[in-house]
Amino acid sequence: MASITIRNLDDDVKRRLRVRAAEHGRSMEEEARDILRQVVGQPNTPRNLGQAIHARFAAVGGIDLQPTKRSPMRTTPDFE
């Protein structure tokens, strides 16, 4: 396995990483590995907008909307 060193990490970022690691019951190093796995571990598959919206809200479940009332189309104007 490879190793990396992160230089010039803000103190606040390091503190938040330490707190997050403690909340999950693991070391800062393991927490950083998990964050990196989540962010870069899976390749992004190109999706269209509809698929992206569906994926974002899939966990919420569906809702039933009342159909909108439609009126007849108006006639097209005659410019002659």
Place of tokens 């009342």: 66
Vertex 76, ends 71 and 80: CA angle to 5°? Answer: 160
> Domain boundaries in the chain?
1-43
Q: pLDDT tens digits, residue range 35-46?
A: 999 888 777 776
For residues 76 and 80, give the distance between their C-alpha atoms in angstroms, rounded to a whole number.
12
Identify the pLDDT of residue 39: 87
Residues of the chain with pLDDT under 50: none
Identify the pLDDT of residue 50: 87
pTM for this predicted structure: 0.52
For residues 52 and 56, give the distance between their C-alpha atoms in angstroms, rounded to a whole number.
6
CA dihedral of residues 61, 64, 65, 70 (deg, nearest 10) = 130
